[in-house]
Amino acid sequence: MTIRARIRSWLFAVLQRSRAERDMDAELKFHIEAYAEDLERSGVKQEEALRHAHIEFGSVERMKEECREARGVSLLQSLLQDLRLAVRVLRKSAGFTVVAVITLALGIGANAAIFSVVDAILLRPLPYPQPAQLVRLWEDAPSLGYFRNVVNPYNFMDWRDNAKSFQSMAAITGQMTNLSAQGQPIALPGMQVSPEFFSVLEVPPFLGSTFTSDEGVAGHDQVVILSYGLWQSQFGGNAAIVGQKVDVDGVPHTVIGVMPRGFSFPKMKAEVWTPLPLARTDDWKDGRYLTVVARLKPGVTLEQARQDMLRVGNLTAEARPENNKGWGGEVLPMLEDATLDVRRPLWVLLACVGFLLLIACSNVANLLLMRGAGRLREMAVRSALGAGRVRLIQQLLVESLLLALAGMAAGLIVAQFGLHSLLALIPQNAPLPRSEPITINGSVLMFSFFAALLTAILFGLVPALRLSRFDLQDALKQGSSRGGVGGHQALRRCFVVVEVALALLLSVGAGLMLRSFSRLVAVDPGFRTDHLLTMHIWTSPSHYSDDHKRSAYFERMLTEIRNSPGVRAAGSTHFLPLTDSISGSCFAPGDGPPPTPSESPSSQYLVTSPGYFSAMGIPLLKGRDFEARDNFDAPPVAIVNHAFVERYFPGQNVVGKQLWVCWSFKKTVEIVGVAAEARQAGLQDAPEPTIFLSNSQAPMYFATIVVRAEGDPREIIRSAEEAIHRVDPDQAVSDVRSMEDVVSDSVSSQRFEAVLLGVFAAMAIALAIIGIYGVVSYSVSQRTNEIGIRMAMGARSPDIARMVVRETLTLAGIALLVGFGSSVALSRVLESLLFEIRPTDAVTLVSAGCVIVAVSVMASVLPARRAAKVDPMMALRYE
Amino acid sequence: MDKQLELLQGTLDMLILKAVSLGPLHGYGILLRIQQVSKDRLEIQQGSLYPALYRLEHQGWITSEWGESENNRKAKYYRLTATGRRRLQTETEQWNRMAEVIAGILKTTPGEL
């Protein structure tokens, strides 16, 4: 068997290396001596015969090397040999090694840090069994412009009962929950879920049990499941908690279970779970507000599920056309759904660090080429001693690999710090798509290792191919450091052009993001963000289910706050601006028939208290604010914003007009005022037509209270909370933030992207400077002789300096062309991330170009001055 | 003596197999055997023999063991294996066919076309 023979001979050679070597020596020695003896016998003198035999035989070392190769051992052994040599070489040129390793560490480190985010958020499967089966279901109405809309309860029940593609389906509403365990009220994020929720996710409880279907029926729903964290912090991790009673929103609930540590649902925070008692009653007929998650049956594809939902969507549309005409069901894989908004920015960031790594690679390749010029003799000697070209390339690549691995090791330290500061850019309470920790884990290590491997090939291969190709005779004849490498100068320039072009590309990207960000934060939100405190209130339905009682409660609370020291004004709104929250309602002019959700136009609406506009600093353009007299006994009133008038009643005086509003009333409301426009969902979203209803006439269960302070808003936090507790000591307050923090948090993802791109661009420019400087100064040192001749012929120092700078500018010019070309092609992917800035924004392109030119000149100034100071006499003698 | 011919690319392996097929030989012996049989008309670079021997052994066509040489010195002897014998047979057949075809082509005169 030939395979066996091969393995045997290979094993023999590898395991018994010294014996194999001895055998080989003995065999060749025998040959030469036997031949010499034959020569002697034919009459040649003894010493002459041995010499002659050696010459006839050829290079013994070379033959031995070829024999080793023939046996297939040489790869492993020569790699070890090369590794030892590489360590020695790299240690000897410490300066070069340090610069190269730092450069690579920055490149690989940035990649590892960003990859760990990409991995944790986009790549890692969701932390549930068979995560690929999990999908999110939405309603959509493409013709009306609604996509990924939350779901109407009746429609959810129809889906659950009629769809055939899913094992199970659950509905969720997220809300704040007031929990009082030891007397102290705390407001916690909670989820009300239909009983199937935990079985859809297939996560068993840590303690106790999850909901049974009975517990999803009204009247049997006073049970609660706690998060691990809450159980630890509030109940001391006592296992006896299961079965005990805890007050949830003022009603005693039995604790039936504790979920395991780390259990979470994407984008929704929750510390407590209570059942959602869905039923086909009028309570659940209107509105779309349920989040729906489902698990596909095994073997059912996404496409089949979509077809199924199309069919079920038609059923719901036929059953309740007034609500559902034009609406259908949408299916999205859960992971894709959770990461929809962050997918593009994260891939952009990963691409940017990829470019950064390329820049680092070309820098190191340049360093290798320059150093290689000084190693020509070493190469020549090794070649003369029998090393083939492949062997030389192998050794140079082993050196590169060693550099790359050292770069990786240092890079992981960089990544650790980088990741830390990167995560610090994300606000504490941001709703992350994933709650799993972002760390440098196994897959990040694997990624870094492959990145290092790839970089080693990228920066090592071209120099290795170049350096291993030389004319042996020339190389041996020549001095130790110069000559024979003229061609490399062109290659080095190529690398510089590439890295400067990439640096330009990153600068353009960063410039676009920074300009977009500065535009975004300069947007006038339509209200005054200074001296404003915001706090979230959730009223327990058990205490305040009565509308009159609830509206009176809010009024008393606001009055108490207004009377506290340091408070100028106070009001409330159900959704705070710039928190990505909007609500919509259909409406119709009051002189026509009542509106239906499928036929009538839709507007945003907000439920606000009297005094909200003045507390926010939103001017009233016409009419009046809500007042105390607009109570339940008085006719319902509304305020609309300027955009609403412009869109639906252009040029008309709307004050005094009647409106039907689907959300709240069985009768029409009278428009009593027109407010100026203010941004609602976020700074980037232009104000939409909005109807304001009074919290005294259509009270919500929750509100964000806004308090205008005389001084620092943080100083009145205590007095405002005390005022609230004077009205109801059990009322919990949450999300206490100054409006300035709210604004800052609302642009955190844009800030994250802009800052990171800015940092990467700065790193790219720094590396490009090093690259330009290296190449230009090397070129100057190579041309000392030429410069000397020019000076001897009458060129003056400024001429020489200009020549060097001009040469650099030529390189920069080519790089600008390449860079602009590619940035025009690539920056389109940034389009959806930009606010009011086109990807071809001239200001950005021009300033990035100027930066690159300025930086190039800067990098060439030192070498130019050195060139200008060349002494012609010295230079000519230099050769 | 005729002028020496340079070895055709790839034929050394075949000659080595043939040489050891006649009986175990050490490296130098193989060289002598080939020169003797070819009546010194082939030029073989002495050193190039060994990489070829190692390669053939690695492929399992020949095997080696240490033994005594004619002048009582330790020498490494190569022997043909069973697979080596089959290999030699196919190589010989191929070579003969090739030589026949080439010779046929070269012998062609204008009249035969």
CATH number reported for the structural domain that contains residue B72 in this entry: 1.10.10.10
Which is more confident, A35 or A650?
A: A650
- The beta-carbon neighbor of B55 closest among A56, A62, A70 is A70
Q: B91 touching A, CB under 8 A?
A: no
Closest CA relative to residue A849, chosen from A513, A518, A503: A503
Could you count the other beta carbons within 10 Å of the beta carbon of residue A867?
27
Check pLDDT > 60 for residue B2: no
Chain A partners within 8 Å of B54 (Cβ):
67, 70-71
Which is more confident, A507 or A487?
A: A507
Q: pLDDT-derived band of residue A13, with 50, 70 and 90 as boundaries? A: low
Would the CB atoms of B58 and A59 count as touching at under 8 Å?
Answer: no
The answer to whether A764 and A359 have CB atoms below 8 angstroms apart is yes
In a 3-state reduction of DSSP, which class is residue B58? Answer: helix
Q: B40 touching A, CB under 8 A?
A: no
Which is more confident, B11 or A126?
A: A126
User: How far away is chain B from the Cα of A459, in angstroms, using its nearest Cα?
Assistant: 34
- The beta-carbon neighbor of B57 closest among A9, A28, A37 is A9
Q: A23 touching B, CB under 8 A?
A: yes
Chain A residue at shortest CA distance from B48: A63
Q: B75 touching A, CB under 8 A?
A: yes
CA-atom Rg of chain B in angstroms: 17
DSSP state of A121: I
What b-and-e string marks burial along A506-521, b requiring 16 or more CB atoms within 10 Å of the CB? bbbbbbbbbbbbeebe
Mean pLDDT, rounded, for A597-620: 92
Structural domain harbouring B34: 5-112
Most confident by average pLDDT, A48-52, A382-386, A674-678, A779-783: A674-678
C-alpha torsion sign, points A346, A347, A352, A357: positive
Q: A69 touching B, CB under 8 A?
A: yes
What are the CA-CA distances from residue A499 to residues A228, A369, A808 (Å)?
A: 50, 15, 14
Q: pLDDT-derived band of residue A271, with 50, 70 and 90 as boundaries? A: very high
Would the CB atoms of B54 and A67 count as touching at under 8 Å?
Answer: yes
Q: Report the range of poorest mean pLDDT among A7-11, A544-548, B65-69.
A: A7-11
Q: pLDDT-derived band of residue A571, with 50, 70 and 90 as boundaries? A: very high
Would the CB atoms of B45 and A58 count as touching at under 8 Å?
Answer: yes
Q: In the prediction, which pLDDT does A730 show?
A: 80
In total, the C-beta contacts within 8 angstroms joining chain A to chain B are 83
Would the CB atoms of A63 and B47 count as touching at under 8 Å?
Answer: yes
The residue of A1, A2, A25, A65 whose CB has the most chain B CBs within 10 angstroms, and thus the best one to mutate to test that interface, is: A2
Chain B residue at shortest CA distance from A12: B58
In a 3-state reduction of DSSP, which class is residue A542? Answer: helix
Q: A66 touching B, CB under 8 A?
A: yes
- The beta-carbon neighbor of B46 closest among A9, A24, A57 is A57
Chain B residue at shortest CA distance from A2: B60
- The beta-carbon neighbor of B73 closest among A30, A59, A62 is A30
Q: In the prediction, which pLDDT does A555 show?
A: 93
The answer to whether A523 and A681 have CB atoms below 8 angstroms apart is no
Question: What DSSP string runs through A713-768?
Answer: GGGGHHHHHHHHHHH-TT--EEEEEEHHHHHHHHTHHHHHHHHHHHHHHHHHHHHH
Would the CB atoms of A30 and B28 count as touching at under 8 Å?
Answer: yes
Q: In the prediction, which pLDDT does A620 show?
A: 95
Is this prediction's pTM over 0.80? no
User: How far away is chain B from the Cα of A63, in angstroms, using its nearest Cα?
Assistant: 6
Would the CB atoms of B59 and A5 count as touching at under 8 Å?
Answer: yes
Chain A residue at shortest CA distance from B56: A70
Chain B partners within 8 Å of A5 (Cβ):
57-60, 63, 81
Structural domains counted in chain B: 1
A139, containing H or E segment: strand A134-141
